[in-house]
Amino acid sequence: MNRRQFISKSAAALALGSIAGSIGCAGNEKQRRIGIQLYSVRNDLPNDFEGVLKKLSEIGFSSVETYGFNGERFGRPFGNRTMQEVDAIVRELGMSISGSHCSSRILPENTNAPEWDYWKKCADQLKSVGAKWIVQSTLPQGNDVNTIDDLMRISAHFNRVGEICRQNDMRFGFHTHRDVFGKIDDEIVIEYIIKNTDSGLFSVQLDMGHVVNGGGDIMYLLRTYPGRIPMWHASDYHATNRVYTNLGQGSVPYREMFALPRTARLEYLTVEQELTGDIFALLKSDFDYIKQFRWTRV
């Protein structure tokens, strides 16, 4: 074989390898960075924990977000399993744990050492499985938030939790429900919290369906606070019919959201389905809708 033949054959082999790689990547939905909040399959997990995770992996989800951490069950905090056991199952399926929703309702003025120990334990457990985020799933005081003083205490609480997370190499966020888009003394609750927390300690996980349900303005929030909203919960809500629905079938402006410059500095996108029924068909529909956007591709 002369030099020209060798170069020609090498180029052909390289081209075939490139094509095969492209085909393999296109066919591997795990190449898409779309996570799933496991609360979506809460009714199915107790019956077939590993089987449910396998189905989510087959749909194409690349990461899972757990839920329900509390101080009473630190030994086996999720699905009656240790986080290491959950992580082993998830990794075997080609996924990872991005973080977990945790819950605390104690405000700083009533806080003692065990409250802060709770967050240290959360950080320690999640860090041990390579997770990045601890997310407060509700306001610490539930729905009983009526005054600016309440918001001041909540903001202080979030700053302190964020500092504990940072000291333990984790990041802290807050998941929005519809209640934080109302006003207290002309202050929109979530905006007040954003403006009164440290950007290095506190981030928002914006749940899109809940924003619409609560009367909030998604595009305004993403444009105004791009560095403060690194996590999106992909859900949808039909404002006219006043029902949650599949992604792309409601009032959440996903096309405009993904068209924002640098997608408003989005880091993690996690699907959360509010509907029940054939949950895996619903989640497959959600995954297929959201995967069209360029950001989702690695």
Tokens of 208: 């899109």
Q: Residue 100 in 3-state DSSP?
A: strand
C-alpha R_g of the chain: 21
Residue 256 CB burial class (10 angstroms; 0-12, 13-18, ≥19): exposed
- Residue 135's H or E segment, with its range, is strand 133-136
**Rounded CA separation 290/288 (Å):** 6
**Rounded CA separation 262/31 (Å):** 19
Instruction: Give me the domain span that covers residue 26.
Output: 1-31
Give the number of domains in the chain. 2
Neighbours of 152 (CB within 10 A): 14
The confidence score (pLDDT) of residue 3 equals 42
**Rounded CA separation 48/74 (Å):** 22
The confidence score (pLDDT) of residue 18 equals 40
Residues 225 and 176 both lie in one domain: yes
Instruction: Kindly indicate the confidence band of residue 1, based on its pLDDT and cuts at 50, 70 and 90.
Output: low
| C-beta of residue 231 within 8 angstroms of C-beta of residue 204 | yes
**Rounded CA separation 238/143 (Å):** 23
pLDDT, one tens digit per residue, over 146-205 is 899 989 989 998 999 999 999 999 999 999 999 999 999 999 999 999 999 999 999 999
Neighbours of 99 (CB within 10 A): 26
Is 104 or 207 the better-scoring residue by pLDDT?
A: 207
The confidence score (pLDDT) of residue 53 equals 98
What angle is formed at CA 172 by the lines to CA 41 and CA 137, rounded to 5 degrees? 40
SS (H, E, C) 225-255: CHHHCCEEEECEEECCCCEEECCCCCCCCHH
Residues 37 and 27 both lie in one domain: no
Residues 7 and 69 both lie in one domain: no
CATH number of the domain bearing residue 264: 3.20.20.150
Instruction: Kindly indicate the confidence band of residue 24, based on its pLDDT and cuts at 50, 70 and 90.
Output: very low
| C-beta of residue 233 within 8 angstroms of C-beta of residue 207 | yes
pLDDT, one tens digit per residue, over 84-103 is 999 999 999 999 999 999 87
The confidence score (pLDDT) of residue 73 equals 54
Residues 11 and 76 both lie in one domain: no
Residues 128 and 189 both lie in one domain: yes
- pTM, rounded to two decimals: 0.87
Residues 281 and 177 both lie in one domain: yes
Bridge-partner residues for 133, per DSSP?
Answer: 99, 171
The confidence score (pLDDT) of residue 19 equals 35
The confidence score (pLDDT) of residue 264 equals 84
Residues 45 and 190 both lie in one domain: yes
**CA 33 vs CA 29, 47, 84, 125, 291: distances in Å:** 9, 27, 22, 23, 9
**CA 223 vs CA 43, 176, 182, 189: distances in Å:** 36, 17, 19, 17
Average pLDDT, the chain: 87
Residues 26 and 98 both lie in one domain: no
The confidence score (pLDDT) of residue 145 equals 82
Instruction: Kindly indicate the confidence band of residue 106, based on its pLDDT and cuts at 50, 70 and 90.
Output: low
Residues 195 and 271 both lie in one domain: yes
Q: Which stretches of the chain are DSSP H helices?
A: 3-27, 49-59, 83-92, 113-127, 148-167, 189-195, 208-213, 218-224, 254-258, 279-290
**Mean pLDDT of the 33-62 span:** 96
Name the nearest CA neighbour of 158 among 115, 203, 117. Answer: 203
Residues 153 and 10 both lie in one domain: no
Q: Is 80 left (phi over 0), alpha (psi -120 to 50) or beta?
A: left
- Residue 184's H or E segment, with its range, is strand 183-184
Residues 145 and 281 both lie in one domain: yes
**Mean pLDDT of the 229-249 span:** 97
Residues 169 and 27 both lie in one domain: no
